[in-house]
């Protein structure tokens, strides 16, 4: 649970899991929450940032020291690139200025859909599983629902859930926001998929940690 330590406290995590269990008591469906450190490592952004900054740094050092030799510039560029590239590899946040919002949105969507299938949410008896996927680096949320839900609930409806959680990111109250979002998921699903006699809990209520 290390990845959630700075995002959710132990108390908040337990509260969210209790809300999942409570919501599922009134629906014939499964709600799964996954928290991922990031949806992608964006290696191209690291290379781009290291290259651009090394070029600027090499030129600046050459001008400051009055060295017009191309060999001096190349040496400075190489040393800076090696240093910056290593720092970029270790600290993902350094890549953020070189990643477009579009790329982040696409990577989060792809990761969420992949997690939906690899976690087995698509294999519930009535195809009424839903994944609430949070990617911490990108500060983005994606809701993925199975086919039975998609037949009755428009994808646009889940934007309300996204807005509740992303608001929690900004307000630094993720536990409260996530709990509210789970309650709202329960409300939406209960309208179309109320709990039926014989329903069982097919998937764990524990928050999953994405890779």
| H/E element, 10 | helix 10-24
What pLDDT score was predicted for residue 34?
A: 95
d(CA 133, CA 142): 5
CB-facing half-sphere around the CA of 18: CA atoms within 13 A: 8
DSSP string computed for 54-107: HHHHHHHHHHHHT---HHHHHHHHHHHHHHHHHHHHH-GGGGGGGS-HHHHHHH
Q: Where are the domains of the chain?
A: 2-40+100-209, 43-98
Class of domain 2-40+100-209: alpha beta
What pLDDT score was predicted for residue 2?
A: 52
| Predicted model pTM | 0.88
pLDDT, one tens digit per residue, over 124-144 is 989 999 999 999 999 999 999
d(CA 75, CA 81): 10
pLDDT, one tens digit per residue, over 81-95 is 999 999 999 999 999
d(CA 38, CA 194): 34
Mean pLDDT of the chain: 91
**How many other CB atoms sit within 10 Å of the CB of residue 41?**
14
What pLDDT score was predicted for residue 1?
A: 47
Residue 4 has pLDDT above 70, yes or no: no
């Amino acid at each position: 649970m290390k990845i959630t330590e700075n995002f959710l406290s132990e108390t908040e995590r337990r509260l969210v899991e209790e809300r999942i269990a409570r919501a599922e008591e009134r629906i014939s469906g499964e709600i799964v929450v996954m928290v991922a450190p990031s949806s992608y490592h964006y290696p191209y952004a690291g290379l781009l940032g290291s290259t651009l900054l090394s070029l600027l740094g090499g030129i600046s050092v050459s001008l400051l020291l009055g060295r017009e030799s191309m060999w001096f510039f190349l040496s400075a560029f190489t040393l800076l690139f090696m240093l910056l590239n290593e720092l970029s590899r270790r600290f993902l946040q350094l890549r953020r200025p070189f990643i477009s919002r579009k790329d982040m949105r696409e990577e989060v969507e792809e990761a969420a859909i992949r997690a939906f299938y690899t976690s087995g949410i698509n294999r519930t008896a009535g195809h009424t599983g839903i994944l609430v996927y949070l990617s911490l680096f990108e500060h983005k949320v994606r809701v993925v629902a199975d086919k039975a839900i998609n037949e009755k609930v428009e994808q646009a409806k889940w934007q309300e859930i996204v807005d509740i959680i992303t608001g929690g990111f900004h307000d630094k109250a993720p536990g409260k926001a996530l709990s509210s979002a789970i309650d709202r998921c329960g409300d939406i699903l209960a309208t179309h998929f109320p709990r039926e006699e014989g329903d069982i809990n097919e998937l764990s209520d524990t928050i999953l940690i994405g890779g």
